[in-house]
Structure 1
Amino acid sequence: MTTWQSFAAAAPSLAAHVHRRFTSGESHVLATLRRDGSPRVSGSEVSFRDDGRLYIGSMLHAVKARDLQRDGRFALHAYPGIEDGGEGDAKLAGVASEITDPESLSRLEVDPASHLFHLDIGEAVYTWVADNTLFTESWHDGGAWVRFARPDNGPVERTVLG
């Protein structure tokens, strides 16, 4: 897993697209794991901070916070509205870690009656359509940054970008 800043350095244009999608709307879809292992989806806001990390917050003792405290694995889907003018679809997955140090919470100006998690990124995916071609770019920590193109609903073309 890696920080947002490290991901952005490894796949800069992909990170720019993903960042744009996550900052174009306020509420996104966060998937966490319940105690029994089944999925839970919740609305969540994200925060890109100057320290090169991506964060999500939660109300104190919310079920999504308890899920992440127990098992930090997450998937996050940028606001999937169709009103975005065809700007594409962005998703992230990785591991969330709660920030509990009072000094860090104070520096980050976090309400002590809430939770704050930084997100380490393991996977990023951006999908869009242009000129009758479906494109998907994906990046995996420790793996390649790859673009898949499927022009005119035909065979998939794979290009390694980094």
Structure 2
Amino acid sequence: MATWQEFAESAPELAERVRARLAAHQHHVLATLRRDGAPRVSGTEVSWRGPDLVLGSMPGARKALDLRRDGRFALHANPGSAEDLIGGVDAKLAGRAVEVTGEEHRAWVEEAGPPSPDSHLFRLDLTEVTTTGVAADQTHLVITHWTPERGVRTFQRA
């Protein structure tokens, strides 16, 4: 697994594209695992705090309880409209969410001013990042995939 900063240092161009996609819209789709193993999708917002990509949650929200029990997640950046994707990429990230507690959580509450001081904060450690876009000549998809072990690999699909 890697922090956002480690990912960005390993794959700076890919990280720039993914960050731009995440920053283009406030709301994204988070997938977590319910207690019975079934997927749960929730809306979420993400931001950066130091070297980390983070997400917050209201106290006791189902997604937060899911992540506390099993930190595995998938995050699909809001693709926006079809026009937004022209010349751009669709971005997906996966990994493990780790709840931030203690002094670091208190500092976040003071800095960010979330609606409630007992809001959850999770650091998103990455196991993979994928972007999908259409080639400039519009003839095929270009899929770029990164993992900490294998780095960046690019595939084409007709």
TM-score by length of 2: 0.89
Aligned pair partner of 1:148 in 121, 146, 155: 155
CA spacing shift, 1:142–1:85, aligned 2, 3 Å: closer
- Cα deviation for residue 81 of structure 1 reads 2.2
- Cα deviation for residue 113 of structure 1 reads 2.6
Q: Percent identity?
A: 54
Q: Which residue of 2 aligns with 1:60?
A: 59
CA spacing shift, 1:85–1:74, aligned 2, 3 Å: closer
Residue 91 of structure 1 pairs with residue 119 of structure 2: no
Question: In the TM superposition, what whole-angstrom CA distance separates every residue of 1:60-113 from its partner, at most 9, and x where no partner exists?
Answer: 000000000000000000002224242210000000000111x21232225423
Q: Is the 8 A contact 2:25 2:80 kept in 1?
A: no
| Aligned counterparts of 1:17 and 1:40: Cα–Cα separation in 2 | 27
1:122 is paired with a residue of what secondary structure?
A: strand
| Aligned counterparts of 1:85 and 1:56: Cα–Cα separation in 2 | 24
Matches within 5 A, 1:1-162: 1-49=1-49, 51-82=50-81, 83-86=83-86, 87-101=88-102, 103-108=103-108, 109-110=111-112, 111=114, 112-129=117-134, 130-132=136-138, 133-150=140-157, 153=158
- Cα deviation for residue 131 of structure 1 reads 1.3
RMSD: 1.2
After TM superposition, which residue ranges in structure 1, 4 or more long, deviate above 6 angstroms? Answer: none
TM-score by length of 1: 0.87
Q: Which residue of 2 aligns with 1:158?
A: none
| Aligned counterparts of 2:122 and 2:2: Cα–Cα separation in 1 | 14
Report the count of equivalent residues.
149
Counterpart amino acid of 1:140? Answer: T
